[in-house]
Amino acid sequence: MPLSRRRFLRNMSMTGAAVRIGLPPLAAMFNSNGTAYAATGADAAVQPRFVFWFNGNGIPERYWIPREIGVDYELTPCLAPLASVRDDVHVVSGIDNPNARVTAPGNTHHKSMSALVSGTPYTGRGAGGASIDQVIAGEMRGESRFRSLQVGVCQESHGENIHRNLSWAGADRALPPEMIPHNLFDRLFGVRDQSWISRKKSVLDAVRADLASLEPSLGQPDRHRLDEHLTSVREVERAIASLPSDYGKKIKEPEDVADLTDYPRIAKIQSDLVAHALASGQTRVVSYMLTKCQSLVRLPWLGYTRLRHHDYTHTNADSPEGQRTMRDICRWHVEEFAYFIGRLKSIPEGSGTLLDNTCVVFAHEHAEANPHKDNGLALILAGHAGGMKTGKHSKMRHTIGDLYLTVAEEVFKLPLEKGFPTAEKKISGVV
């Protein structure tokens, strides 16, 4: 029996708070061609998603950028974690960020970040225009609960708006990321009462009746898939419950040398929650800020506790030891990215997977970190939305605006009437 693509499990918690559990993509939602039953016309095909993924500072180019061009490139030490999803990513290098070099207030991180996300110069207060994720979200059609979601991981109290925000609705209009897993869970599932806060009960308890009425209409494969989905929700609950009781109540100062927060653990919880949001159709656009611009995060899980990330980029950064340190830090970034891509790939949707219907762009505000390079940026495109070409490394002589324009118009089929700042022409070879 056909099932609406927008179906949710619903009920009220013990205190009357609304509970809303998004369903995963089930076979009953799609016909044999992978087309959603609940949609018609232009919305009939599975709707693509966009994720803008960011890490602060830059990279060690010798350990990040492959020497070979094309499909036979060798994964570099920084990109080694991508081995399991190699065929799902397109490594891009050589991208220029010209508006990072125009005369504007602030340091090179301020200017590079504004130009990276919006293509516009830094205003002295924030980005000079809407960020690419918000441009795409504004052009998309179709229903979703959230127009977009902003998600973060590393709580870093330093800096200004341009450091702390990846998404911008317009000039100087920041959309802050949610960095606390508890709060992101509550936003997605609609639960905020004492039984949930104290973790004495599961959010799933409130939707048992709705689940019982749904299951008889599902075939055995869909029942199995639903069980996996609900188990995953419960695992996220348990992961959040296992965090320190005071997590998120006090942001650590950059000078706090005792900050031993296990951010890889937080990152995986946030990635799981984003995957749930995308799979259940709660949103089609997400910005994900693993670390902040000019990141000052400490990295005890890598054994680096003497300095902060940004300090390492400028402390004997060109020495063999300094380059190896940057290699290890950036490899951790890619590990978290690979985990997220793997989660999207593990979720069936229609005739393929969630990753088949998603485009992910991974960027930093600089290329080589120490000199703050704004040309030769290295990015990663992941997913197969719109027929994206993957499994290769390309060196491109284009601007970041060219890349974003190509993603918007060729991947998502969203003609941008006003174009995009610094965009001159679309890039061949992306789709």
- Residues 6+ positions from 403 with CB-CB distance below 8 Å: 92, 95, 361, 379, 396, 427, 430
19-40: pLDDT as tens digits = 888 888 888 888 766 666 544 4
Range 121-132 average pLDDT: 96
129-172: pLDDT as tens digits = 999 999 999 999 777 889 999 999 998 867 889 999 999 999 99
Q: Percent of the chain, pLDDT > 70?
A: 90
Spatial contact of 373 and 367, defined as CB atoms under 8 Å apart = yes
Helix (H) or strand (E) holding 287: strand 285-289
State both tokens at 171. 């000039």
**Most confident by average pLDDT, 13-22, 190-199, 249-258, 311-320:** 311-320
Burial classification of residue 379, based on how many CB atoms lie within 10 Å of its CB (0-12 exposed, 13-18 middle, 19 or more buried): buried
Residue-level pLDDT at 43: 41
Average pLDDT, the chain: 90
Burial classification of residue 378, based on how many CB atoms lie within 10 Å of its CB (0-12 exposed, 13-18 middle, 19 or more buried): buried
- Bridge partners, residue 36, by sequence: 30
Residue 360 has pLDDT above 80, yes or no: yes
215-225: pLDDT as tens digits = 998 999 999 99
Phi and psi based region of residue 383 (left: phi greater than 0; alpha: psi -120 to 50; beta: remaining):
left
State both tokens at 249. 């109540």
Residue-level pLDDT at 44: 47
* Measured CA distances, 360 to 6, 340, 357, 399 (Å): 23, 10, 10, 18
Residue 349's SS3 state is: strand
Residue-level pLDDT at 122: 96
Range 313-324 average pLDDT: 95
CA distance 276 to 257: 34
Burial classification of residue 172, based on how many CB atoms lie within 10 Å of its CB (0-12 exposed, 13-18 middle, 19 or more buried): middle
Range 247-276 average pLDDT: 82
CA distance 206 to 194: 14
**Most confident by average pLDDT, 21-30, 40-49, 244-253, 322-331:** 322-331
C-beta atoms surrounding 265 within 10 Å:
15
pLDDT band at 63 (very low <50, low <70, confident <90, very high): very high
Range 298-320 average pLDDT: 93
C-beta atoms surrounding 28 within 10 Å:
21
- Residues 6+ positions from 254 with CB-CB distance below 8 Å: 156, 157, 158, 296, 308
Max Cα distance, the chain (Å) = 64
CA distance 201 to 205: 7
In the chain, count H helices and then E strands: 12, 13
Spatial contact of 407 and 361, defined as CB atoms under 8 Å apart = yes
* Measured CA distances, 159 to 95, 106, 109 (Å): 26, 11, 10
Residue-level pLDDT at 142: 73
Residue identified by tokens 């998309």 is: 140
State both tokens at 377. 């940026």
Of residues 256 and 23, more confidence is placed in: 23
Residue-level pLDDT at 158: 76
Of residues 2 and 152, more confidence is placed in: 152
CA distance 288 to 396: 25
Phi and psi based region of residue 133 (left: phi greater than 0; alpha: psi -120 to 50; beta: remaining):
alpha
Range 184-207 average pLDDT: 75
The full 3-state SS of 88-148, as one line of letters, equals HEEEEEEEECHHHCCCCCCCHHHHHHHHHHHCCCCCCCCCCCCCHHHHHHHHCCCCCCECC
Q: How far from the centroid of its chain's Cα atoms is residue 407's Cα?
A: 16
269-288: pLDDT as tens digits = 999 999 999 999 899 999 99
Segment among 256-260, 337-341, 377-381, 426-430 with least mean pLDDT: 256-260
pLDDT band at 41 (very low <50, low <70, confident <90, very high): very low
Residue 197 has pLDDT above 70, yes or no: no
The angle subtended at Cα 179 by Cα 288 and Cα 186, nearest 5°, is 105
Residue identified by tokens 């296990």 is: 262
The angle subtended at Cα 411 by Cα 409 and Cα 417, nearest 5°, is 15
Residue 77 has pLDDT above 80, yes or no: yes
pLDDT band at 42 (very low <50, low <70, confident <90, very high): very low
